[in-house]
């Protein structure tokens, strides 16, 4: 599953790329679960928190801080947690790369995955309003892409420029047809950056 991605473009540049007005945002270049990120909801560029809040309770019944659920599996989009957002609130998440951890436990490093032909690309997302964090989004995941074997068995649903309208505005079954592994060329950047920064 994807727990880290980056968008190293300014919001006004992202807005121009997608025909949306620029906005002021507190989203950083690297986005982690529970952090703010930019999404395209309809024709609007918006800042939302990455992850649907999952309410948790402690052993004695006390409420704990919600956990962000930042990945929605394509084969689980009909579950209660996702189905209304999938039917009514699909969005696009712009990014320049997503990361997966590789290596031995305790020594994992970051492998950044990007598209060879698109410096900024979009992946499928769903969103909703939450009481806890305001607007939130989750990234839709499918089986691994060609070229990711051995890295992870899941990858984000990458939405081609020609399919962006279908993902956001098509009927749910039209959108579901896009939930498949990306068939194009990927660029892998295997770094020595620690997966967990202390």
DSSP string for 9-38: S-HHHHHHHHT---------SEE-TTSEEE
Phi, psi (rounded to 5 degrees) for 117: -110, 5
The boundaries of the domain holding residue 127 are 5-52+67-194
Residue 15, CA distances (Å) to 43, 95, 133 in order: 10, 13, 24
**Inside any domain, residue 58:** no
CA distance 103 to 194: 10
Whether 57 and 63 have beta carbons less than 8 Å apart is answered as yes
The angle formed by the CA atoms of residues 153, 155 and 159, to the nearest 5 degrees, is 150
Which SS3 state, helix, strand or coil, does residue 144 take?
coil
> pLDDT tens string for the chain (198 positions)?
789 999 999 999 999 999 998 899 999 999 999 999 999 999 999 999 999 999 877 788 778 889 999 999 999 999 999 999 999 999 999 999 999 998 888 899 999 999 989 999 999 999 999 999 999 999 999 998 777 777 777 899 999 999 999 999 999 999 999 999 999 999 999 999 998 875
For the chain, give the number of residues: 198
Q: Per the domain annotation, does 60 fall within a domain?
A: no
Query: Which CATH number does the domain housing residue 122 bear?
Result: 3.90.1680.10
The number of domains in the chain is 1
């Amino acid at each position: 599953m994807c727990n880290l991605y980056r968008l190293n473009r300014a919001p006004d540049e992202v807005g121009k790329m997608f025909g949306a007005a620029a906005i002021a945002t507190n989203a950083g270049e690297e986005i982690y679960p529970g952090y703010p990120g930019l999404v395209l909801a309809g024709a609007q560029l918006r800042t939302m928190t990455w992850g649907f809040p999952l309410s948790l309770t402690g052993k004695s019944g006390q409420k704990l801080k919600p956990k962000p659920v930042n990945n929605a599996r394509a084969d689980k989009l009909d579950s209660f947690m996702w189905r209304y957002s999938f039917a009514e609130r699909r969005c696009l998440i712009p990014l320049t790369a997503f990361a997966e951890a590789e290596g031995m436990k305790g020594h994992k490093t970051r492998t950044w995955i990007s598209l060879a032909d698109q410096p900024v690309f979009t992946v499928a997302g769903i969103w909703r309003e939450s009481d806890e964090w305001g607007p939130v989004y989750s990234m839709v995941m499918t089986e691994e892409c060609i070229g990711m074997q051995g890295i992870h068995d899941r990858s984000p649903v990458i939405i081609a420029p020609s399919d962006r309208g279908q993902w956001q505005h098509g009927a749910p079954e039209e959108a579901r047809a896009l939930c498949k592994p990306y068939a194009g060329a990927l660029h892998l950047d295997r770094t020595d950056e620690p997966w967990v920064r202390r």
